[in-house]
Structure 1
Amino acid sequence: MTARSSVLLGIASLLALTAPASPAMSKDDALPEPRPVYPVSERVDIVETLFGERIADPFRWLEADVRSDPRVAKWVAAQNAVSRGYLGSLPGRDWFSARIAELMNYERFGIPRKFGNRYFYTRNTGLQNQSPLYVQDGLDGKRRLLLDPNAWSRDAATALSEWQPSPDGSKLLYMVQDGGTDWRIIRALEVATGEPLADEVRWAKFTALSWVGEEGFLYSRFPEPEKDRDFQALNYDHAVYFHRIGTPQSEDEQVFSTPDFRERGYNASVSDDGRWAFITSSTGTDARNELQVIDLSLRARTGWHSRPLVSGFDHDWRVIDTVGSTLYLKTNKDAPTYRIVKVDLEAKTPKFETVVPARSEPIDGASIVGDRLIVSFLKDAASRAEVFTLDGKPGRIIELNGLGSATGFGGKPGDPETFYNYASFNQPGGIYRLDLETGKSTPFATPDIAFDPADYAVDQVFYPSKDGTRIPMFLVKRKDVTGPAPTLLYGYGGFDNALTPTFSSVRMAWVDAGGVFALANIRGGGEYGKAWHDAGRLHKKQNVFDDFAAAGEWLKANGVTSERGLAIQGGSNGGLLVGAVVNQRPDLIDAAHAAVGVMDMLRFDRWTAGRYWVDDYGYPSKEADFRVLRSYSPYHNIRAGADYPAVLVTTADTDDRVVPGHSFKYAAALQAAEAGDKPHLIRIETRAGHGGGKPTDKAIAEGADVLAFLARWTGLDVGGGASQGDPSIPTAVKESAE
């Protein structure tokens, strides 16, 4: 049954709150456990007529900011009390907590970036809540701590986000992220001494940091929001500013804005030689933008005068870098999988010439290092990288080790080297240095881990979706797991975002316990270029849900998972995915985790960055789009009377990307509906935002809660691997599991 035929939320009954619990789906057929008694969520009589249809919204009051509305704060506290009690008592919760910590306790490095003679990179000793930033003089120099965000707040929820050294490496710009918010505070320091400078810039958001020589930098920000509206107000009037080092923010110069087009967003970048600045303008999340260029060598005479290089929001144009007056770009104009082009910025009539033509594999990224182009491609959602001359002649292929993800390859024209990170599901990221002259990669920092990657199998399969489309899916498990096992299926399917093999200590703990992890590369993402994205958005969004459900059907039909052993998981747009598929296929799913999801598809464009998402979702105010959104909106399509799987919703009170009201309303509606006897809980974190900057201790605690919940309702015998003598699980962890 599709979401379009589901029962309206308005007829759901509160009588389900006292219904008896169903038997738990455990391997040992344990006695039924009492279902949690949910806090009563007040219903309000709000019914709107939209395009001739009456839409009930009884939990709209939960849209208010929990930080300023006492009624919502009380509801959050009551929900958390129930969830904490239930999750904390689950068998295996302590085992997962210990194992996740064990798996996460390894030295982790960020990709080094060279400025002047200095190398900058992050390093986490293992379980530090935030990763400090280090610097060293020369490749063989001694490492020195430059910034330690662990000392910035008592709860370790204040993070170092983006950072950018000045061209000669003498100064550092860095952004502070407090409590997971998308807002940033920009600060600066002297690298030689570590002494902070007086500079401070606020209300920066969705911005890069681009130095203009050593004198100052370009950044993007919004106007200061109204009091108590900073976590919910719509983001309009983005603009690019220049801040001169040593001056107050009030003296910052506005470089670029379009007051007549308040919805546009802007990002500024500066070429590595310092001569050119570029302003990228966008209207949403689609890969479509305009491009302005500023000749900084003329700034003393012409100021911040910009001229259009690309007009019209028709295609994607991403700046790579310049060599002299030649600009290199990555574009999808006449190339759905992208191509690399170049253009002479001094030409009276700029003409774009192809350097690296499009292939069947999408171009994932490109950079100029030394006198070479390094281009990374996606081959069935896994990375491959090649080196080209600046004229596009193929050079060597960079050898990578199996199905994994390679990121980085940054640098500047003239550099002799580049660094990259390589990771896979069973291999934490290692940092490698590539010598461009010899083509040899050598380890810069590789992790010392608490398991042997060879003990795990990473495979890729392809399965048919409902309409016959061939979908790739990765499968990860211990090699000694040979029969059907509880399986955690993850997906996203949106915004041209490709999911590639990466390491997660939380996922690995599930696999260590004897489960299977599956990642489905469903439509809506960027795994195969524009056509793949287009096939899973707007009026074709149902393809995404069909692809995900087909993955679950394949896993059961092919004996990967047991008949009652399928858990699904997704975050953000993936949370929407989980909510929609739970509504449409409750018969298929045994447990679900929806994280920071977009759950109200009729009002998503009313908060913070939600208005950008119309590129993928459509406009609730347009009837044709409304009909599609209404058909799958998780909040509006809960099927009263259906037998739903166990559902855990997670969000955070300071999430200003997908405001927590989405999850609050969905959880309240799910609890109020007669949707089966299994638990439907919400876990609300404090000062954690949408996920970025989350402290390690919070990540471990949340991961343990989520996995214990999913294991309980899929029959995963937690710690089974340890009891079978799995050498990868230390004795101390075995004891904690018992």
Structure 2
Amino acid sequence: MRITGLFALALASSTAIISTPVLAQADAMTKDNALTYPETKTVDVVDEQFGEKIADPYRWLENDVREDADVAAWVAAQNAVTDGYLKTVEGREALAASMTNLFNYDQLEVPVEAGGKFFYERKSGGQNQAILYVRDGEDDEERVLIDPAEWSEDGATALAEWKPSEDGSLLVYAIQDGGSDWRTLKVMDVATGEIKPDSVEWVKFSNLAWMPGNSGFLYSRFPEPQEGEAFQSLNKNHTVYMHMLGKKQSSDIKVYATPEKPELSHTAEVTSDQQWVVITSSSGTDDRYEITLVKVDAKEIEPRKLVEGFDNSWSLIDGIGDTLYFATNNDAKRLRIMKTDLSKPEDRDVMCDGPDAETTTCSKMEYVWTEVVPEHVATIDNAAIVGDLLVVDYIDDAKSRLETFALDGTPKGLVDLPGLGTVAGLNGSAKSDKGYFAFGSFNQPNTIYSFSDAGSAEIWSKPELPFDPDTVQVTQRFYESKDGTKIPMFLVHKKDLDLSEGAPTLLYGYGGFNISVLPGYSAPKMAWIQAGGVYASANLRGGGEYGKEWHDAGRLQNKQNVFDDFIAAGEYLIAEGITPKDGLAIEGRSNGGLLVGAVMNQRPDLFTTGHAAVGVMDMLRFDRFTAGRYWVDDYGYPSKEADFRKLLSYSPYHNIQDGTNYPALMVSTADTDDRVVPGHSFKYTARLQALNTGDKPHLIRIETRAGHGSGKPTDKLIEEYSDIYGFMADAVGLEVGE
């Protein structure tokens, strides 16, 4: 269980600033030359919504770069200009060397035990993708099970989700190519390494769950898209299937679907004792679910509702026989843990429609819920059953706390953690008295721990690091946002750094979708720190650090709070002397890319440079592509007037201020991003370059054979971040040594 000013209302195509192509000039460009951006054609497209005429002269850049030659040519021209400019930036090679060194350790994942075997991923320095290993016993020698390096020459094909069968003899695993969200499933014999003939395609946003006796597995997928639309068309009609081993995909059994509600998504889990299939249905990104059950040993697939109505979050922890444990925000905004006994439903009176459309009283069997662990001041992030313990991972002021309880909720004590950081990958089962988790922080990559009681945890595997974590200081501060709300922020820098005159600072934020931004190691960010910079991470509203109220305070009509929180973080860093006024760089990815675009429009005077990665930049059309329709829970519906007006007020693409000097900005995206389609970044960059936004560089870096972020090989990460951090270091005066 794991618990997102003034508007430029019109930009007529006739007034767009057109520049000349620079493909031949790119290599000769220097920072002393005025940047000449590629020519970007405009089209006469004007949409009218709620009495507002909205010009969209770069609509054509929404087309798929693989299918549209004009878009492909524009991408090539933009990359040529960006590459030419980056050749003039000193320090990129030094940053690349530093990142290469800082990636040179064993990146460890938490082991999964099945049938006495232990499965885990590890990526060592110099490897582009993690390798899946197995031990036939906990103390046995490891052996390679899957090495994705054999799958492609460029390292851009990755191992994604995987799941061993209950006895550990088989493994179902997902292949991710070029960073896409689409997956292909394969099956392996663990003992021999033989790849079975089974192949399942068009899998997306799916759990993997084995059925008893290794007869088959459950997965979720969308219908096969029309030719040429795989990376842009809306995803609808998500369906849970059961694939029977040895059969073709065409004979897979449909387990659960809602064709009458094609917007719903469904994922399936099986309790660790393999008695119940638990299907979680959602209508968007909000943690509001319906729960449907299927008895594993039933002769027919007969779904029954456990939770009806998309009112609350319900996340399965596990089941023991007919007793299921869930974490829920039902009457608990920071979550609590409840259980229900499926063998003991109660007959209750409910209101129903009688004859002649009159309301009357009916009898209905309902399951009874019992509270096990009550709501706490900290927020539940994860939980697992380990033997006879219920282990709960809390977020306590944006850092982890691990507590254990008896299965009846009796507190059993804390699990000792080695400092300020984050627990990840907590797992175990009622069949074993040993559990596992990872713990890391900004200055410490993940160490894997095992535990068997409510006492201290033991190191299961610890990486040797290419730097001394004790030389890096991690502190937490709280600052006030515009409305007086206290916002937590972590500061990370070398202990011997003299901050008396401030130091160039990289400020990161996200603020959305109930996602908590917790302490974690990043080799690129550590390279910034090792070069003498400060890294700051702000826990903005819209995230999940303080439960439902924190999330609600930063979404829909409250979205401006997120931007205010981030702006206040920048003001605090400058006011406290942590960074000089001309030394503040900002960064955000995805929803965080939207954040960077929005605050650049609202406070271009505050920031010196920024990186907007794979951002949602057109807030009036985000719901028309791939997974964008899910995001209405956080952003609202562009088709509803109140939401439309709020979205238009901060949409990065629509609010670029003509005649205002903008900070140096690097936009980044990828051609295979089918989560936030690259058209968002293309259109935003084209408008930023066309308007009069000052002499600072406003560039876009477009990666090929890459997606929204997952599965990206290490060499591409080093190349990408040495470019981007070199660009920002140059802007804020961070001297990157050789």
TM range (shorter): over 0.9
Preserved CA contact (<8 Å) 2:19 2:38: no
- Equivalent position of 2:706 in the other structure: 688
Matches within 5 A, 1:409-488: 409-436=426-453, 439-483=455-499, 484-488=502-506
- Equivalent position of 2:23 in the other structure: none
For residues 710 and 697 of structure 2, what CA distance do their matches in structure 1 show?
A: 28
Question: Does 2:270 match 1:270?
Answer: yes
Larger mean CA deviation between 79-88 and 504-513 belongs to: 79-88
How far 1:4 sits from its partner (Å)? 3.2
Q: What letter is aligned with 1:479?
A: K
For residues 517 and 574 of structure 2, what CA distance do their matches in structure 1 show?
A: 22
Distance 1:521 1:9, change over 3 A: farther
Uncovered stretches (5+) of structure 2, i.e. residues with no partner? 21-29, 347-366
Preserved CA contact (<8 Å) 1:13 1:673: no
For residues 7 and 386 of structure 2, what CA distance do their matches in structure 1 show?
A: 55
Q: What letter is aligned with 2:719?
A: A
Question: Does 2:661 match 1:643?
Answer: yes
Task: Tell me which of 511, 514, 529 is aligned to 1:496.
Answer: 514
How far 1:641 sits from its partner (Å)? 0.6
- Equivalent position of 1:385 in the other structure: 402
How far 1:290 sits from its partner (Å)? 0.4
Question: Does 2:392 match 1:375?
Answer: yes
Task: Tell me which of 302, 325, 336 is aligned to 1:305.
Answer: 302
- Equivalent position of 2:357 in the other structure: none
Task: Tell me which of 627, 631, 638 is aligned to 1:609.
Answer: 627
Structure 1 counterpart SS, 2:96: helix
Distance 1:671 1:637, change over 3 A: same
Structure 2 counterpart SS, 1:634: coil
- Equivalent position of 1:191 in the other structure: 190
Larger mean CA deviation between 84-93 and 368-377 belongs to: 84-93
Structure 1, residues 16-45: CA drift from partner, whole Å, max 9, x if none? Answer: 969xxxxxxxxxxxx962233110110111
Distance 1:42 1:13, change over 3 A: same
Q: What letter is aligned with 2:495?
A: K
Preserved CA contact (<8 Å) 2:503 2:578: yes
Question: Does 2:231 match 1:231?
Answer: yes
- Equivalent position of 1:725 in the other structure: none
How far 1:347 sits from its partner (Å)? 1.4
Structure 1 counterpart SS, 2:627: helix
Structure 1 counterpart SS, 2:40: coil
Q: What letter is aligned with 2:48?
A: T
- Equivalent position of 2:607 in the other structure: 589
- Equivalent position of 1:281 in the other structure: 281
Task: Tell me which of 331, 340, 348 is aligned to 1:334.
Answer: 331
Preserved CA contact (<8 Å) 2:159 2:174: yes
Matches within 5 A, 1:17-96: 33-96=32-95
How far 1:407 sits from its partner (Å)? 1.1
- Equivalent position of 2:98 in the other structure: 99
- Equivalent position of 2:319 in the other structure: 322
Structure 1 counterpart SS, 2:653: helix
How far 1:493 sits from its partner (Å)? 0.2
- Equivalent position of 1:734 in the other structure: none
Count of residues paired in the alignment: 702
How far 1:398 sits from its partner (Å)? 0.9
For residues 67 and 222 of structure 1, what CA distance do their matches in structure 2 show?
A: 22
Structure 1, residues 383-407: CA drift from partner, whole Å, max 9, x if none? Answer: 0101110000111201112210011
How far 1:409 sits from its partner (Å)? 2.2
How far 1:167 sits from its partner (Å)? 0.2
Preserved CA contact (<8 Å) 1:16 1:673: no
Structure 1, residues 614-671: CA drift from partner, whole Å, max 9, x if none? Answer: 0000000001100000000000000011010000000000000000000000010100
For residues 217 and 6 of structure 2, what CA distance do their matches in structure 1 show?
A: 51
How far 1:325 sits from its partner (Å)? 1.0
For residues 63 and 253 of structure 2, what CA distance do their matches in structure 1 show?
A: 35
Q: What letter is aligned with 1:358?
A: E
- Equivalent position of 1:728 in the other structure: none
For residues 55 and 125 of structure 1, what CA distance do their matches in structure 2 show?
A: 50
Preserved CA contact (<8 Å) 1:281 1:291: yes
Distance 1:470 1:12, change over 3 A: farther
For residues 17 and 195 of structure 1, what CA distance do their matches in structure 2 show?
A: 57
Distance 1:200 1:101, change over 3 A: same
Structure 2 counterpart SS, 1:636: coil
Preserved CA contact (<8 Å) 2:13 2:42: no
Larger mean CA deviation between 5-14 and 214-223 belongs to: 5-14
How far 1:348 sits from its partner (Å)? 2.5
Preserved CA contact (<8 Å) 2:9 2:54: no
How far 1:11 sits from its partner (Å)? 8.3
Question: Does 2:618 match 1:600?
Answer: yes
For residues 724 and 416 of structure 2, what CA distance do their matches in structure 1 show?
A: 37
Preserved CA contact (<8 Å) 1:105 1:125: yes
Q: What letter is aligned with 1:319?
A: L
Structure 2 counterpart SS, 1:177: strand
Preserved CA contact (<8 Å) 1:87 1:705: yes
How far 1:12 sits from its partner (Å)? 9.7
Preserved CA contact (<8 Å) 1:106 1:126: yes
Higher relative contact order (CA 8 A, sep 6+): 1
- Equivalent position of 2:135 in the other structure: 136
Q: What letter is aligned with 1:199?
A: D
- Equivalent position of 2:652 in the other structure: 634
Q: What letter is aligned with 2:511?
A: G
- Equivalent position of 1:248 in the other structure: 248
For residues 87 and 458 of structure 2, what CA distance do their matches in structure 1 show?
A: 45
How far 1:297 sits from its partner (Å)? 2.1
Structure 1, residues 247-295: CA drift from partner, whole Å, max 9, x if none? Answer: 1001101011111101000000101111100111110000101001111
- Equivalent position of 2:549 in the other structure: 531
- Equivalent position of 2:359 in the other structure: none
For residues 9 and 315 of structure 1, what CA distance do their matches in structure 2 show?
A: 42
Q: What letter is aligned with 2:428?
A: G
Task: Tell me which of 340, 344, 347 is aligned to 2:344.
Answer: 347
Question: Does 2:221 match 1:205?
Answer: no
Structure 1 counterpart SS, 2:604: coil
How far 1:414 sits from its partner (Å)? 2.3
Structure 1 counterpart SS, 2:273: coil
Structure 1, residues 89-125: CA drift from partner, whole Å, max 9, x if none? Answer: 3100001000001000111221101000100001112
Q: Give % identity.
A: 55
For residues 88 and 660 of structure 1, what CA distance do their matches in structure 2 show?
A: 24
Preserved CA contact (<8 Å) 1:186 1:204: yes
Structure 2 counterpart SS, 1:284: coil
Preserved CA contact (<8 Å) 2:166 2:210: yes
Please give the root-mean-square deviation of Cα atoms over the aligned residues, in Å: 1.3
For residues 321 and 32 of structure 1, what CA distance do their matches in structure 2 show?
A: 58
Distance 1:378 1:319, change over 3 A: same
For residues 635 and 654 of structure 1, what CA distance do their matches in structure 2 show?
A: 21
Preserved CA contact (<8 Å) 2:199 2:248: yes
Structure 1 counterpart SS, 2:565: helix
Question: Does 2:637 match 1:619?
Answer: yes
Uncovered stretches (5+) of structure 1, i.e. residues with no partner? 19-30, 720-736
For residues 377 and 4 of structure 1, what CA distance do their matches in structure 2 show?
A: 41
- Equivalent position of 1:722 in the other structure: none
Structure 1, residues 319-351: CA drift from partner, whole Å, max 9, x if none? Answer: 111112110000000000000000001113211
For residues 135 and 505 of structure 1, what CA distance do their matches in structure 2 show?
A: 26
Structure 1 counterpart SS, 2:319: strand
How far 1:50 sits from its partner (Å)? 1.0
TM-score, length of structure 2 as denominator length = 0.94
Task: Tell me which of 719, 728, 733 is aligned to 1:701.
Answer: 719
Structure 2 counterpart SS, 1:168: coil
Structure 1 counterpart SS, 2:427: coil
